[in-house]
Amino acid sequence: MLLIAAALAGGCNQSTPPPAAAAAASPYAGLPTAAQPKLDTIKLWIGPEEMTTEQALTPMQQETGMMFRTNMAENEGMIFVMDHPQQASFWMMNCVLPLSAAYIDTEGRILEVHDLQPHDTNAVLSATDDVEFVLETPQGWFQRHNIRPGTVVVTEKGSLKKTYLSQ
């Protein structure tokens, strides 16, 4: 449910779209106003844990993310695939569900895990600029499943790098 702020300005806080005259001046103009349909899924293994994950691959899918969604099962998530390693920046505008986000490097290693609060429009920046993937889960999922930084994430097709970056 997180969105990449700035570059992928998205979130989960419901807001009324500004009037047309004010839209150009608003930093929130043009943001999604409804939940997106369920995205294509892929199975991930986060260490020993299996998860079915929606794939946010396009800029619009990433911008919308989990905005306006009202539920997420325990072993479901959403993976965001960046176009290059960068400093990730996610926020929770228009997101009603509390989430956790793992910032993951090109090799599929979890670098950091952050808890994200519903409707929080403050960006949660990664500590490094090596983030290629972000995995959003129900809040506390990583802690409940004893998943820590250093854990490797793979897909049913192989490594994250092979699955998403060799195309």
Higher pLDDT, 93 or 19: 93
pTM reported for the whole predicted model = 0.82
Number of structural domains found in the chain: 1
Is residue 26 a part of any domain in this protein? no
CATH of residue 123's domain is 2.60.120.1140
List pLDDT tens digits, range 50-60: 999 999 999 98
Is residue 121 a part of any domain in this protein? yes
The residue ranges of DSSP E strands in 13-166, in sequence order, are: 41-46, 49-56, 76-86, 89-91, 99-104, 110-116, 124-125, 131-138, 153-155, 158-159
How many angstroms separate the Cα of 96 from the Cα of each of 21, 71, 139?
28, 9, 12
Tokens of 55: 């794939």
Neighbouring C-alpha atoms within 13 Å toward the C-beta of 101: 29
Which range marks the domain in which residue 89 is found? 3-13+38-129+146-165
Is residue 109 a part of any domain in this protein? yes
Is residue 87 a part of any domain in this protein? yes
List pLDDT tens digits, range 105-140: 999 999 999 999 999 999 999 999 999 999 999 999
Higher pLDDT, 69 or 155: 155
Is residue 93 a part of any domain in this protein? yes
pLDDT > 90 fraction of the chain, expressed in percent and rounded: 66
pLDDT the model gives residue 142: 98
Return all residues near 26 (Cβ < 8 A) that are at least 6 apart: 18
What confidence tier does 22 reach under pLDDT thresholds 50, 70, 90? very low
Is residue 75 a part of any domain in this protein? yes
What DSSP line would sit under 58-86, residue for residue? SHHHHHHTTTT-----TTEEEEEEEEEEE
On the 0-12 / 13-18 / 19+ scale of CB atoms within 10 A, 58 is exposed
Is residue 78 a part of any domain in this protein? yes
Is residue 141 a part of any domain in this protein? no
For the chain, give the mean pLDDT. 84
DSSP 3-state of 34: coil
pLDDT the model gives residue 8: 41
> Cα-atom radius of gyration of the chain, to the nearest Å?
15
